[in-house]
Amino acid sequence: MPPATPSGIEVPLIATGDMAPEAGPGLPGAYPFTRGIFADGYRGRPWTIRQYSGFGSAEESNQRYRFLLEQGQTGLSVALDLPTQCGYDPDDAMARPEIGKVGVSLFSLSEMETLFKGIDLAAISTSFTINGTAAIIYAMYLAAADKQGVAREKLTGTIQNDILKEYVARGTWIFPVRPSLRLITDSVLYSNEVTPRFNAISIAGAHVRDAGCTAVEEMAYTLANGLAYVEELIRRGGDVAKFARRLSFFFYVHMDLFEEACKFRAGRRLWAKLLRERYGVSDEKALHFRFGVVCGGSSLVAAQPYNNIVRVAIENMAAVLGGAQSIFTCAYDEAFQIPTEFSAEIALRTQQIVQHESGIAATVDPLGGSYYVEWLTDRMESGMLEVMGEIDAYGGVVKAIEEGWLQRRIAVRAKQRKDATDRGERVVVGQNRFRREAQADSYGEVFRLDPQIAARVLAKHAEVKRSRDASRAARSLDALEAAAGSETENLMPLLVECCHAYATVGEMVDRLKRCWGEFQEPVRL
């Protein structure tokens, strides 16, 4: 069988001029942006080095952020613990084992204030990987800015706020699909007015990719979700030429260098075409496909884990060749633990080496015009359209998610990927090829979470509830619940007031659950 990319595209032995598109890829900064959204590429603005971190309580994470900023990191990316992501207060029975584990606990404004103590919110850009409770965390960030005396319009950053893919892969859903979409449109429309430099949504393919689907499917599912949000925002009265300027995207980069780079070239072009052709968008900035990436994830393995440093460096280069706006490189030990400070620093240095030593970013889109790259970009774009067509044929993404159809497709793909790995068709060096059976792996430093964290978070939670103005908190929650029952009122101002009143994430979510109920997962095998 001739070799194929991981998406199943047969790779030619030699690419020739007659395979590449006749018109050529055009110029960077010009529609349809195959070669990038900026004419001056990374010379005008280097990509943001944005390492995902956060653990324990707000105090610990605050210290880690200050360290990362001192080390030359250029943006913050906040990891939140699962109780905060799923809308439980730390004292809920479901929350207790998970407090502060995969991220920081932000149960109320008190914690957001502590998290950014000594960090000027006007001077940094902050990204929150938050979805089910995104509107609440965004409201909390606004309240923290108010407390710091920073004008809201100065805030820059991103909330992921992409619930559709949570139902498919990442699993931090709370409410049914339709009220969740309402929360998203509320926050995007509000953000356009109040924080015009803030990305109120980052439509993410990363998680479905890491769960098992191919690069072509990753982009196709993401663009399909993107269009679903566009439709919903238009239905709620949004102006596509305006809100499209603040839509951003997020992906995984795995190991096939050219397929990954071409995935971004194809996706960037396809998004611009879809917006222009379907919605008549002509504003250049609104057509810009801006995206962040994460390098590593399930492409990293526990066997001989130091090899992961090399994998991440290759993926980092693929992201740069694809024109990413911000990059997060995983630490080599993430295949088996939460990274240590030591492994996290190597991941940061990897990006700095690529950015400052490799010369890769000196010219814009250095791959542009390569017969193979332009051919592969075309092939991936048509593959994406094909997958999007299958979703349309099923009845659209919302239906596909509510009925579990998309979830099942991902599970089947994950099984295929695992089978291909077990059979050795998908080579993983050190694991299924060139494995040294007798070797005891060296795993390096062990991450240890302070076992007292949960107790400290619980104590603070109790203290905040005791010391706040109870009647203001109750009033704000009542107002939220009343507004949630109406179809049209934008909930953002009410959530900001709840945050100012030190209402907790769990309290806000409980009030919304009363109105909307909870998502019933369609479990299918």
Partner 1 sequence: MSAVAAGPAVGPLAGKRILIAKPGLDGHDAGAKVIALALRDAGAEVIYTGLRKSPGFIVRVALDEDVAAVGLSILSGSHLELAHEVLEGLRASGAGAIPVFIGGTIPPQDHAVLFEAGVKGVYTNDMPLARMIEDLARVLA
Which residues does 453 contact at the CB level (< 8 Å), separation at least 6? 56, 57, 60, 99, 100
**The CA-based dihedral angle spanning residues 72, 77, 82, 87, taken in that order and rounded to the nearest 10 degrees:** 140
- What is the token pair recorded at 196? 């015009």
DSSP state of 27: -
Which spans in 77-166 are helix H?
A: 82-86, 109-115, 134-148, 164-165
Whether the Cβ atoms of residue 119 and residue 73 lie closer than 8 Å to each other: no
Residue with tokens 């943006």: 75
Number of residues forming the site for partner 1 (CB under 8 A):
52
Question: Phi first, then psi: what are they for 505, rounded to 5°?
Answer: -55, -45
Q: Establish if 515 lies at the interface with partner 1 (CB under 8 A).
A: no
Whole-angstrom Cα distance, residue 34 to residue 281?
17
- What would the x/- binding string for partner 1 be over residues 73 to 102, using CB under 8 A? ---------xx-xx-x----xxxxxx--xx
- Which residues ranging from 426 to 455 are in contact with partner 1 (CB under 8 A)? 428, 431-432, 441, 443, 446-447, 449
Q: What is the residue type of 47?
A: W
Select 26 or 171, whichever has its Cβ closest to partner 1: 171
Q: Residue from 11, 119, 194, 302 that binds partner 1 (CB under 8 A)?
A: 302
**The CA-based dihedral angle spanning residues 59, 61, 65, 67, taken in that order and rounded to the nearest 10 degrees:** 80
Whether the Cβ atoms of residue 165 and residue 228 lie closer than 8 Å to each other: no
CB of 234 to partner 1, least distance (A): 30
Cis, bond preceding 97 (omega within 30 deg of 0): no
- What would the x/- binding string for partner 1 be over residues 124 to 163, using CB under 8 A? ----------------------------------------
Q: Establish if 297 lies at the interface with partner 1 (CB under 8 A).
A: no
Whether the Cβ atoms of residue 222 and residue 203 lie closer than 8 Å to each other: yes
Select 179 or 339, whichever has its Cβ closest to partner 1: 339
Q: Residue from 130, 139, 169, 391 that binds partner 1 (CB under 8 A)?
A: 169
CB of 517 to partner 1, least distance (A): 14
- What would the x/- binding string for partner 1 be over residues 365 to 404, using CB under 8 A? ----------------------------------------
Select 83 or 226, whichever has its Cβ closest to partner 1: 83
Q: Could you tell me the CA-to-CA distances from 210 to 254, 294, 437 in Å, in that order?
A: 9, 10, 27
- Which residues ranging from 101 to 120 are in contact with partner 1 (CB under 8 A)? 101-102
Q: Establish if 517 lies at the interface with partner 1 (CB under 8 A).
A: no
Q: Establish if 301 lies at the interface with partner 1 (CB under 8 A).
A: yes
Q: Establish if 364 lies at the interface with partner 1 (CB under 8 A).
A: no
CB of 423 to partner 1, least distance (A): 9
Q: What value does the CA radius of gyration of the chain take, rounded to a whole number of Å?
A: 23
CB of 418 to partner 1, least distance (A): 5
CB of 261 to partner 1, least distance (A): 25
Select 338 or 391, whichever has its Cβ closest to partner 1: 338
Which residues does 351 contact at the CB level (< 8 Å), separation at least 6? 49, 316, 327, 329
Region near partner 1 per CB under 8 A, out of 243-251, 379-387, 391-399, 417-425? 417-425
CB of 513 to partner 1, least distance (A): 14
Q: Could you tell me the CA-to-CA distances from 406 to 6, 415, 476, 518 in Å, in that order?
A: 20, 14, 38, 20
DSSP state of 154: G
E strands in 43-199: 48-49, 52-53, 76-78, 125-128, 156-159, 198-199
- What would the x/- binding string for partner 1 be over residues 330 to 349, using CB under 8 A? -----xxxx-----------
Q: Residue from 150, 411, 420, 429 that binds partner 1 (CB under 8 A)?
A: 411
Select 97 or 369, whichever has its Cβ closest to partner 1: 97
CB of 240 to partner 1, least distance (A): 31
User: Would you tell me which residues interact with partner 1 (CB under 8 A)?
Assistant: 82-83, 85-86, 88, 93-98, 101-102, 166, 169-173, 210-212, 298, 301-303, 335-338, 410-412, 414-415, 418-419, 422, 428, 431-432, 441, 443, 446-447, 449, 520-525
